[in-house]
Structure 1
Amino acid sequence: MRRRLASVRARATLGTTLVVAVALLAAGTAVLLSLWTNLSDQAGTQAERTAREVAAELAAGQPYRALSLDDDRPVQVVTEDRTLVAVSEHLERISGTGTDAVRPATAPAAAPSGDGGGGGDGDGEGEGDGEAGGDADDDGSAGASALRPGEIAEEPFYSDGSATVDGESADYRFAAVEVETEDRGTLTVYAGAPLSTERTAVRTALTVMLIGFPLVLAVVAGVTWLMTRRALRPVEGIRREMAAITASADLARRVPEPDTHDEVARLARTTNETLAALEAAVERQRRFVADASHELRSPIASLRTQLEVGAAHPGLLDVPGAVEDTVRLQNLAADLLLLARLDAGERPADARVDLAALVREEAGGRVRVSVDAEPAEVSGSRGQLRRVLANLLDNAQRHAREAVTVTVRREGGRAVVAVADDGDGVPEADRERVFERFVRLDAARSRDDGGAGLGLAIARDVAERHGGTLTVRGTPEGGALFELRLPSV
Structure 2
Amino acid sequence: MRSVRARAALGATVVVALALVAAGLAALLVLRANLTDQAGLQAEVAARETAGQLALDVPYGRLETGDEEDHPVQVTDEDGRVVAVSKDLEAISGTGTDRVTPQPPPAAPEKGGDDGDRDDDDDDDGAGADPGRGEVSTDEPDFSNGTATVDGDRADYRFASVEATDSAGLTLTVHAGAPLAAEQRAVASVRAAMLAALPVVLLVVAGVTWLVTRRALRPVEDIRREMAAITASEDLSRRVPEPASRDEVARLARTTNETLTALESSVDRQRRFVADASHELRSPIASLRTQLEVGAAHPELLDVQGAVADTVRLQVLAADLLLLARLDAGERPGNARLELGALVREEVSQRTGDRIPVAVVVSAPEPGGLEVTGSRGQLARVIGNLLDNAQRHAVSSVTVEVRAERGGAVVAVTDDGAGVPESERTRIFERFVRLDDARARDDGGAGLGLAIARDVATRHGGRLTVAGAGERGARFELWLPGPR
User: What TM-score do the two structures reach when normalised by structure 2?
Assistant: 0.86
Aligned to 2:463: 469
Which among 18, 36, 47 is matched to residue 40 of structure 1? 36
Give 1:464 deviation, angstroms. 2.5
Aligned to 2:402: 407
Which among 325, 335, 339 is matched to residue 340 of structure 1? 325
Aligned to 2:111: 111
AA of the residue aligned to 2:309: E
The answer to whether residue 213 in structure 2 is matched with residue 213 in structure 1 is no
Moved more, 452-461 or 362-371: 362-371
Aligned to 1:27: 23
Give 1:279 deviation, angstroms. 1.6
Aligned to 1:425: 419
AA of the residue aligned to 1:451: G
Aligned to 1:98: 96
8 Å CA contact 2:400–2:411 kept in 1: the answer is no
**CA distance in 1: counterparts of 2:189 and 2:161, whole angstroms:** 30
SS in 2 for 1:265: helix
AA of the residue aligned to 1:297: R
**CA distance in 1: counterparts of 2:109 and 2:409, whole angstroms:** 117
Give 1:446 deviation, angstroms. 5.7
Aligned to 1:78: 76
**CA distance in 2: counterparts of 1:478 and 1:67, whole angstroms:** 130
Moved more, 54-63 or 226-235: 54-63
Give 1:191 deviation, angstroms. 1.1
**CA distance in 2: counterparts of 1:393 and 1:58, whole angstroms:** 124
Aligned to 2:48: 52
- The 1:307–1:24 alpha-carbon spacing in structure 2 relative to 1, beyond 3 Å, is same
8 Å CA contact 1:405–1:421 kept in 2: the answer is no
- The 1:365–1:188 alpha-carbon spacing in structure 2 relative to 1, beyond 3 Å, is same
The answer to whether residue 385 in structure 2 is matched with residue 391 in structure 1 is yes
8 Å CA contact 1:110–1:122 kept in 2: the answer is no
Give 1:477 deviation, angstroms. 5.0
Which among 275, 283, 287 is matched to residue 290 of structure 1? 275
TM-superposition CA deviations, 1:392-427 (whole Å, max 9, x none):
222233333423232232414x44443333433322
8 Å CA contact 2:46–2:71 kept in 1: the answer is no
SS in 2 for 1:239: helix
AA of the residue aligned to 1:39: L
- The 1:224–1:487 alpha-carbon spacing in structure 2 relative to 1, beyond 3 Å, is farther
- The 1:53–1:350 alpha-carbon spacing in structure 2 relative to 1, beyond 3 Å, is farther
8 Å CA contact 2:56–2:167 kept in 1: the answer is no
Give 1:149 deviation, angstroms. 6.7
Which among 58, 61, 78 is matched to residue 62 of structure 1? 58
Aligned to 1:196: 181
Moved more, 59-68 or 319-328: 59-68
Aligned to 1:481: 475
Aligned to 1:370: 360
8 Å CA contact 1:44–1:158 kept in 2: the answer is yes
**CA distance in 2: counterparts of 1:275 and 1:73, whole angstroms:** 84
TM-superposition CA deviations, 1:125-180 (whole Å, max 9, x none):
99xxxxxxxxxxxxxxxxxxxxx973515122111111122333221111112233
8 Å CA contact 1:151–1:179 kept in 2: the answer is yes
Structure 1 vs Structure 2 CA RMSD: 2.9
- The 1:485–1:195 alpha-carbon spacing in structure 2 relative to 1, beyond 3 Å, is farther
1:70-469 residue pairs with structure 2 within 5 A?
Answer: 70=66, 71=68, 72-106=70-104, 110-111=110-111, 117=122, 150=135, 152-364=137-349, 367-374=357-364, 375-401=369-395, 402-412=397-407, 414-442=408-436, 447-469=441-463
SS in 2 for 1:160: strand
- The 1:188–1:406 alpha-carbon spacing in structure 2 relative to 1, beyond 3 Å, is same
- The 1:106–1:361 alpha-carbon spacing in structure 2 relative to 1, beyond 3 Å, is same
SS in 2 for 1:191: strand
**CA distance in 1: counterparts of 2:292 and 2:63, whole angstroms:** 140
**Runs (5+) with no aligned partner, structure 2:** 352-356
AA of the residue aligned to 1:202: V
Moved more, 210-219 or 416-425: 416-425
- The 1:43–1:448 alpha-carbon spacing in structure 2 relative to 1, beyond 3 Å, is same
SS in 1 for 2:135: coil
8 Å CA contact 2:402–2:409 kept in 1: the answer is no
SS in 2 for 1:449: helix
**CA distance in 2: counterparts of 1:427 and 1:328, whole angstroms:** 28
Give 1:381 deviation, angstroms. 2.0
**CA distance in 2: counterparts of 1:182 and 1:214, whole angstroms:** 63
AA of the residue aligned to 1:423: G
User: What TM-score do the two structures reach when normalised by structure 1?
Assistant: 0.85
Give 1:63 deviation, angstroms. 3.0
AA of the residue aligned to 1:406: E
**CA distance in 1: counterparts of 2:54 and 2:409, whole angstroms:** 105
8 Å CA contact 1:468–1:486 kept in 2: the answer is yes
**CA distance in 1: counterparts of 2:469 and 2:31, whole angstroms:** 89
**CA distance in 2: counterparts of 1:109 and 1:221, whole angstroms:** 74
Percent identical across equivalent pairs?
Answer: 66
**CA distance in 2: counterparts of 1:187 and 1:241, whole angstroms:** 89
Aligned to 2:354: none
**CA distance in 2: counterparts of 1:48 and 1:329, whole angstroms:** 112
